[in-house]
Amino acid sequence: MKVFRQSDRLRNVRYDVRGPILTEAMRLESEGHDVLRLNLGNMRPFGLDARPEIVDAVAASLGSAQAYSDSRGILPAREAVAHHYQRCNVRNVSADDVFLGNGVSELITLTLQAMVNPGDEILVPAPDYPTWTGAVNLTGGVPVHYLADEANGWNPSLDDIESKVTPRTTALVMINPNNPTGAVYSAETVRGMADIARRHGLVLLSDEIYEDLVFGDARHHHAALAAGDDVLCLTFGGLSKSFRVCGYRAGWVVATGPVQNARDLLEGITLLSNMRVCPNVAGQHAIPMALNAGAPDSPMPADIVDPGGRLEKQLALTADALNAIPGVSCVPPRGALYCFPRVDRELFGIDSDEEFVLDLLRSEHILVTHGTGFNWPKPDHFRIVCLPEATVLTQAVASIAGYLERRSLRS
């Protein structure tokens, strides 16, 4: 009988956060083992619930949400997103510049489908959130990875970015705050990336889903502000992380800068929005409640993202514990939900980081994600999610330390 195979377009598409290692974790769970899943930034399984008024707003919408909405999303939600960026001093943004989607991940794919021709080069950070590289490959484009500088707090190297611009380059991707490194880019880095886009006529694609999850003295700088009026900037954001409603899939992309020169591109995004009919309507109703509750005249109540709150403490605790392990180093994250530690490959005998995390999973029943799954070029990092309570994280890192010690004795 004929064998049916996947499209050749999927040949270079990977999403290892939910790949073979998760399959192995599920096998272990089916055998009765308890697996600590530190592979996904999924809030609620770790007791991080949404604020009740957001849940209530969605519940109250269920009657009207039975119908399709505008393919771009409901107007009150798009207005709330526009007002959010206006409060952040981004000029000339209106609801007409906003597209809602089923999370940022859908909008990444939709936007790249609208703008990328076969052979177009898109500058993507290494490491990156793997949907970016996967979606570029899926559209027939070529992801060109520029390196983040671990020695500089994981800020990207501007010289490396500039050196990789060619006549085929059409866009520059920024992920800030960064997944997986936890970096929060300096104002100089954000301005520098916008200047590169300006000099070379590139679209700046800024993934800012973690914009509110910054800690200590870190400050998030919107790419749209640095892009100004002369660089087309598409900013991706949503409620999943800061407002802890991952399953509502309430995301958006906002166009700023010379949008009058991007009408054809925006018509393409509109076309693809029409083809998927509309985003999840009930989830859209969370957006006005969440964003308006964060307005200056209606501040959020004390929350896990506040200074000294749960997330800040857990990130610091995890980084300190990892740095205490001989052969491991971790740049302390300043934002997002993750640590991205380096491991000494020679000391621990690591040739494949995927095999390393699989062996860790089978030995300790702890699920993390290998660094090459985020398109980091060397098998010497892994990502750990810092969402469990401090006691659970402490025990998890202790188990990793014990495993690594045993591994070092074997190598």
Report the alpha-carbon distance of residue 389 to residue 265 in Å, rounded: 44
Report the alpha-carbon distance of residue 230 to residue 258 in Å, rounded: 6
pLDDT at position 295 over 90: no
Report the alpha-carbon distance of residue 343 to residue 325 in Å, rounded: 10
Predicted pLDDT of residue 302: 47
- Residue 109: its H or E element: helix 103-115
Backbone angles phi, psi at 156, to 5 degrees: -65, 150
Predicted pLDDT of residue 17: 66
Helix, strand, or coil (residue 384): strand
**CA trace torsion 401, 404, 410, 411 (10° rounding):** -140
- Residue 110: its H or E element: helix 103-115
- Average pLDDT score over residue span 169-174: 98
DSSP 306-362: STTSHHHHHHHHHHHHHHTSTTEE-PPP-BSSEE--EE-HHHHT-S-HHHHHHHHHH
Helix, strand, or coil (residue 126): strand
Tens-digit pLDDT profile for residues 306-364: 667 889 999 999 999 999 999 999 999 999 999 999 999 999 999 999 999 999 999 99
Contact 248, 239 (CB under 8 A): yes
Predicted pLDDT of residue 142: 96
- Token digits of residue 21: 């290692």
Q: What percentage of the chain reaches a pLDDT higher than 90? A: 84
Backbone angles phi, psi at 79, to 5 degrees: -65, -40
Tens-digit pLDDT profile for residues 77-125: 999 999 999 999 998 899 999 999 999 999 999 999 999 999 999 999 9
Buried b (16+ CB within 10 A) or exposed e, 2-23: eeeeeeeeeeebbebbebebbe
In one letter, which amino acid is 296?
P
Report the alpha-carbon distance of residue 229 to residue 226 in Å, rounded: 9
Report the alpha-carbon distance of residue 218 to residue 311 in Å, rounded: 14
Q: What is the DSSP letter of 53?
A: H
Q: What is the DSSP letter of 64?
A: G
What is the end-to-end Cα distance of the chain in Å, rounded? Answer: 47
Report the alpha-carbon distance of residue 384 to residue 396 in Å, rounded: 10
Tens-digit pLDDT profile for residues 240-276: 998 999 999 999 999 999 999 999 999 999 999 999 9
Report the alpha-carbon distance of residue 223 to residue 221 in Å, rounded: 6
- Measured over the CA atoms of residue 97, residue 98, residue 104 and residue 110, the dihedral's sign is negative
Tell me how far the alpha carbon of residue 404 is from its chain's centroid: 28
pTM of the complete model: 0.93
| Domains in the chain: ranges and CATH | 8-48+304-410 (3.90.1150.10), 52-293 (3.40.640.10)
